[in-house]
């Protein structure tokens, strides 16, 4: 990746900002495409050390704006497409926004990458599988749209699949399983538990019995890096999960123990998904990524949780811990 021009959509976000750091370490020329806002907020790009941050070419726009996307992608050797509207509860409330951003936005980025001969690394999500029909879940597991968000990501994945079949588009898809770590917002369960356990008198959650396969964000970012160098693997999809599952209830107990505050855990009805929309179980088989990309996760859950707790304890100002973030 040294000396190559690389575009990262969603660069201001959680996984995107960690990927940007890895690309800078690899001495890539990084162009960060971030969503415009009038406050000039550059998200977690500003968490990157100043010396590195000044090396980033920041381009502001919106994935739904085809012209803005083309300006960002022109001249890129690689495009990492992480930009998306990601919150599942928000997708219940605003499905049009989620579908336009994730489906039309992906079409715009893919079309630009095709036109400008850029190699493409696409971001899927384990939510496209829905609740497990069998475990561990490999890439052949059926896709199930159990939320508008999942539907939008399935559609985006299929756009990339269709571009590969139709145009021999040089794309590889990474399907992360529940990435977590520093910088993640409270729309995700781990920062929700951590910040409530640090600062509130109780932990308020939804379904405690659902299981997830959690992967530390630096491992997830490494999967993207390896996918970029995957010559001869175009058209392939790779799970990026840790290969274990833990229930949300047990996770809350573990985090509470690590923090050392024995506060109650309560279920709130407004945090429960609709019954048919609930994904009860996610448990990854990432053997294909290990065999073909050489990717295996290296950060154990407890180590990752400790690092995330430490970061959250130092960044309370970024969270509103008494609110339910959708």
Q: Tell me the pLDDT tens digit for each residue of 254-294.
A: 999 999 999 999 999 999 999 999 999 999 999 999 999 99
pLDDT band of residue 190 (cuts 50, 70, 90) is very high
**For residue 136, is the peptide bond before it cis, meaning its omega torsion is within 30 degrees of 0?**
yes
Does any domain span residue 99? yes
C-alpha span between 103 and 81 (Å, rounded) = 12
Does any domain span residue 164? yes
Contact present, 246 and 211 (Cβ < 8 Å):
yes
- 180 phi and psi angles, rounded to 5 deg: -150, 165
> What total of structural domains would you count in the chain?
1
Q: Tell me the pLDDT tens digit for each residue of 229-250.
A: 988 899 999 999 999 999 999 9
Does any domain span residue 41? yes
Contact present, 262 and 256 (Cβ < 8 Å):
yes
Residue of 5, 10, 218 whose CA lies nearest to 109: 10
pLDDT band of residue 50 (cuts 50, 70, 90) is confident
* Per-residue confidence (pLDDT) for residue 62, from 0 to 100: 97
**Domain, as residue range, for 238:** 5-180+216-244+283-298
The C-alpha R_g of the chain, in whole angstroms, comes to: 19
C-alpha span between 113 and 209 (Å, rounded) = 42
> What CATH number is given to the structural domain containing 155?
3.40.50.720
* Per-residue confidence (pLDDT) for residue 272, from 0 to 100: 96
- 281 phi and psi angles, rounded to 5 deg: -150, 130
Check: pTM over 0.75? Answer yes or no: yes
Strands 246-247 and 211-212: antiparallel
């Amino acid at each position: 990746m040294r000396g190559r021009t690389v575009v990262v959509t969603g660069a201001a976000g959680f996984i995107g900002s960690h990927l940007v750091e890895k690309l800078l370490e690899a001495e890539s020329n990084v162009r960060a495409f971030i969503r415009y806002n009038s406050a000039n907020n550059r998200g977690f790009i500003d968490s990157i050390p100043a010396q590195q941050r000044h090396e980033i070419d920041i381009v502001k726009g919106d994935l739904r704006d085809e012209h803005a996307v083309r300006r960002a992608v022109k001249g890129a050797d690689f495009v990492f497409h992480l930009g998306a509207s990601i919150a599942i509860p928000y997708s219940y409330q605003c499905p049009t926004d989620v579908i336009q951003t994730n489906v039309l936005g992906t079409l715009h980025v893919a079309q630009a990458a095709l036109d400008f001969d850029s190699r493409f690394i696409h971001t899927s999500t384990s939510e496209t599988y829905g609740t497990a029909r069998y475990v561990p879940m490999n890439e052949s597991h059926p896709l199930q749209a159990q939320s508008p968000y999942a539907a939008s990501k399935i559609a985006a994945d299929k756009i990339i699949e269709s571009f590969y079949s139709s145009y021999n588009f040089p794309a590889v898809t990474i399907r992360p399983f529940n990435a977590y770590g520093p910088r993640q917002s409270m729309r995700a369960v781990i920062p929700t538990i951590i910040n409530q356990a640090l600062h509130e008198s109780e932990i308020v959650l939804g379904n405690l019995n659902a299981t997830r396969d959690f992967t530390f964000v630096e491992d997830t970012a490494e999967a993207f890096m390896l996918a970029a160098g995957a010559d001869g693997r175009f058209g392939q999809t790779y799970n990026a999960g840790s290969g274990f599952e833990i229930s949300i209830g047990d996770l809350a107990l573990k985090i509470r123990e690590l923090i050392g505050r024995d506060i109650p855990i309560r279920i709130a009805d407004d945090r429960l998904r609709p019954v048919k929309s609930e994904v009860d179980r996610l448990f990854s088989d990432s053997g294909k990524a290990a065999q073909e990309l050489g990717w295996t996760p290296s950060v154990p859950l407890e180590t990752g949780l400790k690092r995330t707790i430490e970061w959250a304890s130092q960044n309370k100002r970024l969270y509103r811990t008494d609110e339910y973030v959708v």
